[in-house]
Structure 1
Amino acid sequence: MPGVKTQIQNIVLSVTYEGVEFNLERLARSLDGARYDPEVFPGIAYKSMDPPASFLIFASGKMNCVGAKSMNDAKLAIKRLTNKLKKSGVKIKSEPKVQIQNIVASFDFGREFDLERIARSFENTEYEPEVFPGLVFRLEEPKTVVLLFVSGKGVCAGAKSMADIKKAALAITKLLKQR
């Protein structure tokens, strides 16, 4: 994206193993570093180091994967965890269904913003500097939220694809050029 530096900060995925249920007690013992305390939380917390990603694993055969900074890293972390699950005796017959829930990216627009002026110019914004230093910009297309800061930096949340991230950066750039 010319003019806007974009960096993925976090990808959140849901992962479903069809027809699979996990014995969490047994699985927690077989995964190095897994944390499982059913009185506190009904799933296993597990962190993979290479590539870095964190998982919440539930008895239903579903997981959440967070913390990956690229789709390739996320897919690799899921593949490696799937192999560990198989080695621990879990019968997995097919590839898991993976769905993007949220992509968070940081933006650097390369210039400072007058947030008061932006807030007055657009209805789909919220700016209360005594509560939060950023301006909340709600986009309809793509359906995302972009936090803008005086520094010219921003954070985009709610994207469902890399294309949404690019569209959000472009939409903000175009909107701000209009005013």
Structure 2
Amino acid sequence: MVDAEYEIVNVVLSVSYKDVEFDLEKIASNLEEARFDPEIYPGLTYRVSEPKATFLLFTTGNVNCMGAKTVEGAEKAVEKLTSKLQNLGFDVEEPEAVVRNMVASVDFHRGFDLEEIARNYHYAEYNPEVFPALVFRWEDTNVVILLFVEGEGVCVGAKKKEEIEKAIEWISETIESINS
């Protein structure tokens, strides 16, 4: 049994509005929480507080949504954005939205000997002079877990909660085998 707890802290969606070109100046001047400075960055940043999310909008109709804590929250934020864009006169329908990344903080309830783990597993990278965490990658997945000596971790690259849970279980079993 795995004695670890996790909390999703960020969900990233890529959103595609078909056959539309956004006038970012128009959006920026009409949405209070929008920021657009094309000399610094080509996208418009728009923040919403309920549900909490941040959007990056591009003239192409592509949008990134980040900062939500759940997929459902991100999807609700996209619905609100779509409604606001429609109210501004853009001919947008429900967009295609794809989960690109879920980030979770993990508490393994134990400390780790990162050097020992790195010696025993070829898919573990540890260079404390460059970065304080051990980076655990394994084949056939985009999921990566960063392990810290205190027993905390960060899971990135998952597209579903089940991938986070599977990665935590796998890491826990892998680490346990070192102590056996």
TM-score of the pair, normalised by structure 1: 0.94
Give the share of equivalent positions with the same residue, in percent. Answer: 48
Answering whether residue 75 of structure 2 is matched by residue 75 of structure 1, we say yes
CA distance in 2, matches of 1:37, 1:143: 33
**Structure 2 counterpart of 1:11, one-letter code:** V
SS at match of 2:176: helix
CA distance in 2, matches of 1:130, 1:23: 46
Shift of 1:175: 1.1
SS at match of 2:38: coil
Shift of 1:112: 0.9
Q: Answer whether contact 1:139 1:168 (CA < 8 A) is retained.
A: no
**Structure 1 counterpart of 2:43, one-letter code:** G
User: 1:80-95 to 2 correspondence within 5 Å?
Assistant: 80-92=80-92, 94-95=93-94
Deviations 1:2-51 (A, max 9, x none): 41101001111100011121111111111112111112211211101111
Shift of 1:130: 2.2
1:143 corresponding residue in structure 2: 142
Q: Which contiguous aligned blocks of 4+ residues in structure 1 show a shift greater than 4 angstroms?
A: none
CA distance in 1, matches of 2:24, 2:14: 18
SS at match of 2:53: strand
User: 1:123-142 to 2 correspondence within 5 Å?
Assistant: 123-142=122-141
* Count of aligned pairs: 178
**Structure 1 counterpart of 2:82, one-letter code:** T
> Which structure 2 segments of 5+ residues have no match?
none
1:159 corresponding residue in structure 2: 158
TM-score of the pair, normalised by structure 2: 0.94
1:18 corresponding residue in structure 2: 18
